[in-house]
A and B are shown apart, each in its own frame.
Chain A
Amino acid sequence: MPDGFRGQLLSGWGRAGATRADVQTPPDADAIVDLLSEADGRGIVARGLGRSYGDAAQCAGGTVVDTVRLAGAGAVDASGEVEVAAGTSLDTLVRHSVPDGWFLPVTPGTRQVTVGGAIASDVHGKNHHVDGGFCRHVTAMTIATPTGLRRVSHAQDGELFWATAGGMGLTGVVTSARLRMLEVDTDRMLVDTDRFVDLDGVMSAMEGGDDRYRYSVAWVDCSGPVRAKASRARGRPGVGRAVLTRGDHARAEDLPSRLRSAPSPPGRPRLGVPRCVPRGILNRASIAAFNEAWYRRAPAHREAEVQPMWRFFHPLDGVADWNRLYGRAGFLQYQFAVPPSSGDVVTAVVRELSARRIPSFLAVLKRFGPSSPGPLSFPIPGWTLALDVPLGAEGLAACLDRLDEMVAESNGRVYLAKDSRLRPDVLAVMYPRLAELSSVRRRVDPGGVVRSDLSRRLGLD
């Protein structure tokens, strides 16, 4: 690098589009307020563990506040509440709380995210249809803004609280949060599994039965049209065979005595991916083979299987740095949500991807419950589908643009924590309450210094 240029290249989990910023690791909230009040038009934004897929935790030419040093959690009190520093990972938090029987009220598919990142994306788990998003379980938080440190809750400056919940770091840097944990008896789950030959089957099973389970998620194979008997009878090939898993935490009395031990923390990742992965390891053929093996392994129907909790929630955490499998080109994730009546959009998307032969790993299908009050919070009641696609697939950019339009037309939206390519004009259709976010930002950040690559790309500044 030529002399005189400081900083570090940062990219998201998808590893495309690295930009350079001056990365600071302030020791405490006051140091963060100082950084924010000194920041200029080049911008400043928070970064947790960089698990968002796109450019949300980057600020080209500006400052990125890495929250690693804001770490640590207090004791969980009798009511289940705990004050956690925002740079603490969910992994660290559960290792600390689970031995006493306290689990995360909401967990994404990986524990390797920070509490601040979970708030900024208002993350959802397999229990959104019952328990809502992460921020519903946050009772208060402290936010460093360019105009000072603020403690907010649902009741106290609820406007700033909810603008921050899902606000992609654009209101300032969360330094600490009070979280209401979930009490669990064991570290086991009781899981029901069902296999479906196509998407219609799994979707009606979810509509009919999800309410009986705290956790529900389906994995859908988008890798090619499957000629299923049922759909052939209706005169078209079925798309998207699927495996649905639903369950809840096991109570001690649900388990044989040898499994009744107190909950124990997760193991460490056992596998890793080397730095250099040969090109094209993940291609259409290997992805299709993987999807096939996965489908064949699942039972057609099984009830009340006892599963370890960590495998149920975070199967991918067993392999460190798996994103490197996609090689230098990187990959992206497309996740959208549509209202309950727009299930046909889910089918249309899966159909489009398989027709265009765009290689995609298993897609994750879920039902969302009510939204949170956050203007930029992603979940809306209905369906959500998430899928990983390697960059470089032919026609991918244009294909996703068409999917955006379908999603926007049905009053749906894409998830910004996963986004790296949405168009600004489509964003405004998907998130009609952007003005509320702007007005809060103007109040706490009159100089407009809190911004990211994502906010610039989407015209949020």
Chain B
Amino acid sequence: MLDAFGQPQSAVVLGGTSDLAGAVVRALAQRRLRTLVLAGRDEERLRSAASSAVAAGAERVSTVRFDAQDVSDAARAVDECFDVAGPVDLLLLAVGVLSHRQDELDSSATAEVVTATYSWPAVALTRAASRMSEQGYGRIVVLSSLVAVRVPRHNFVYGSAKAGLDAFSIGLGDALSGTGVIVQVVRLGRAPTKMTEGLPGAPLSTTPEAVADAVVAGLESRAQVVWVPPAARWVALARLVPQSLWRRIPG
């Protein structure tokens, strides 16, 4: 169960091999987290994420396989996670694929990014919301991005998918009002992970540890939107910049 601080004893991570998720899991395991299901595509990486979760204090860690390119399999994957975990206090969504400027006009690259970053997560979250409604409680935390607030010129494919998932999650949270299930969206600046490796530095950047601390604090506050770093909330003002000017901002 969740305690009064919103700290979970059991969690499912979709994107269990994500670097950011790893930092969140370590922070949670230092508190109440004991039962954990890590779901991902690569057996080897899952195994190593599982052993670092155990080292951080998790006691029962299992893994589940899925491929985020297969949207028709999303509900099955989520069901398997819930069946393995027992009641799930927290579901963390950390799946996503970054787009690259050179692929902007490549339709199959677009399909890949949009599927793994928006479609598969949206279907998975729907299934998770329904399982948690049956439980009568639960938290869903979605790792969103500052690019979802105002999609930047340089990676609009990924940005638009994140924007879609962000809006979807907010809507899902509102739809779940009264069920005992709370959806929280974490909008974060760029953090150094394998996803952002090799990218130049960005303003409002953060670290996996800061993201983890913000998730822990957000669970306690039950805020619908959590900004990391906190100053990132001002990015909302970027919506006021006219598009003619916005497209010229380098990135």
A binds B: yes
Interface residues of A (CB under 8 A from B): 1-2, 5, 7, 9, 14, 16-21, 54-55, 59-62, 329-330, 332, 391-392, 396-397, 420-421, 423, 453-454, 456-457
Give 26 pairs: A residue, B residue, CB < 8 Å, sorted on A: A1-B178, A2-B133, A2-B175, A2-B176, A5-B179, A14-B4, A17-B6, A18-B137, A19-B136, A20-B136, A20-B137, A20-B178, A21-B136, A60-B1, A60-B137, A61-B135, A62-B136, A329-B221, A332-B4, A392-B220, A421-B7, A453-B1, A456-B87, A457-B1, A457-B2, A457-B3
Known: A1-B177, A9-B180, A423-B32. A391 touches B4 (CB 8 A): yes
Residue-wise interface mask of B (101-133) relative to A, using a CB-CB cutoff of 8 A (1 in contact, 0 not): 000000000000000000000000000001001
Complex Cα–Cα for A203 and B9 (A): 38
Chain B residues positioned under 8 Å from A7 (CB to CB): 136
Question: Which one, B7, B87, B135, B177, contacts A397 given CB within 8 A?
Answer: B7
What is the chain A residue whose CB lies nearest that of B32?
A: A423
Chain A residues positioned under 8 Å from B65 (CB to CB): none
Known: A55-B1, A60-B137. A2 touches B180 (CB 8 A): no
What 7 additional pairs, Cβ within 8 angstroms, besides A1-B177, A5-B178, A60-B137? A9-B178, A20-B178, A61-B136, A330-B4, A391-B5, A456-B87, A457-B2
Are the CB atoms of B137 and A420 closer together than 8 Å?
Answer: no
Chain B residues positioned under 8 Å from A21 (CB to CB): 136
What is the chain B residue whose CB lies nearest that of A55?
A: B1
Question: Which one, B9, B137, B176, contacts A19 given CB within 8 A?
Answer: B137
Known: A19-B136, A397-B220, A456-B87. A60 touches B180 (CB 8 A): yes
Are the CB atoms of B220 and A457 closer together than 8 Å?
Answer: no
Complex Cα–Cα for A62 and B5 (A): 22
Question: Which one, B134, B176, B221, contacts A61 given CB within 8 A?
Answer: B134
What distance in Å separates the Cβ of A442 from its nearest Cβ neighbour in chain B? 20
Which residues of B in the span 146-174 have a Cβ within 8 Å of any Cβ on A?
none
**Chain A CB within 10 A, most for which of B1, B32, B177, B222:** B1
Known: A2-B133, A18-B180, A60-B137. A54 touches B4 (CB 8 A): yes
Ranked 5 nearest A-B pairs via Cβ? A61-B136, A420-B4, A60-B136, A457-B1, A20-B180
Residue-wise interface mask of B (57-101) relative to A, using a CB-CB cutoff of 8 A (1 in contact, 0 not): 000000000000000000000000000000100000000000000
What distance in Å separates the Cβ of B231 from its nearest Cβ neighbour in chain A? 19
What is the chain B residue whose CB lies nearest that of A459?
A: B9
Q: How many A-B residue pairs have CB under 8 A?
A: 80
**B233: CB under 8 A from chain A?**
no
Which DSSP category, helix, strand, loop or mixed, fits chain A's interface?
Answer: loop
Complex Cα–Cα for A19 and B87 (A): 13
Complex Cα–Cα for A221 and B7 (A): 29
Complex Cα–Cα for A411 and B137 (A): 34
What is the chain A residue whose CB lies nearest that of B86?
A: A456
Are the CB atoms of A20 and B179 closer together than 8 Å?
Answer: yes
**B47: CB under 8 A from chain A?**
no
**B31: CB under 8 A from chain A?**
yes
Chain A residues positioned under 8 Å from B7 (CB to CB): 397, 421
Chain B residues positioned under 8 Å from A330 (CB to CB): 4
**Chain B CB within 10 A, most for which of A20, A54, A332:** A20
What is the chain B residue whose CB lies nearest that of A423?
A: B32
Complex Cα–Cα for A280 and B157 (A): 42
Complex Cα–Cα for A454 and B1 (A): 8
Chain A residues positioned under 8 Å from B179 (CB to CB): 1-2, 5, 20
Complex Cα–Cα for A456 and B178 (A): 22
Are the CB atoms of A421 and B137 closer together than 8 Å?
Answer: no
Complex Cα–Cα for A2 and B133 (A): 9
Which residues of B in the span 3-49 have a Cβ within 8 Å of any Cβ on A?
3-7, 9, 31-32
**Chain B CB within 10 A, most for which of A19, A392, A453:** A19
Chain A residues positioned under 8 Å from B135 (CB to CB): 60-61
What is the chain A residue whose CB lies nearest that of B182?
A: A18
Complex Cα–Cα for A392 and B4 (A): 10
Chain A residues positioned under 8 Å from B9 (CB to CB): 457
Complex Cα–Cα for A456 and B221 (A): 22
Residue-wise interface mask of B (187-222) relative to A, using a CB-CB cutoff of 8 A (1 in contact, 0 not): 000000000000000000000000000000000111
Chain A residues positioned under 8 Å from B178 (CB to CB): 1, 5, 9, 20
Chain A residues positioned under 8 Å from B6 (CB to CB): 17
Are the CB atoms of A16 and B4 closer together than 8 Å?
Answer: yes
Known: A2-B175, A9-B178, A456-B87. A17 touches B3 (CB 8 A): yes
What is the chain A residue whose CB lies nearest that of B4?
A: A420
Complex Cα–Cα for A160 and B134 (A): 33
What distance in Å separates the Cβ of B91 from its nearest Cβ neighbour in chain A? 15
**Chain A CB within 10 A, most for which of B3, B31, B177, B178:** B3
Chain B residues positioned under 8 Å from A456 (CB to CB): 1, 87
Chain B residues positioned under 8 Å from A329 (CB to CB): 221-222
Complex Cα–Cα for A392 and B220 (A): 7
Chain A residues positioned under 8 Å from B2 (CB to CB): 17, 457
What distance in Å separates the Cβ of A420 from its nearest Cβ neighbour in chain B? 4
Complex Cα–Cα for A14 and B137 (A): 17
Complex Cα–Cα for A396 and B3 (A): 13
What distance in Å separates the Cβ of A421 from its nearest Cβ neighbour in chain B? 4
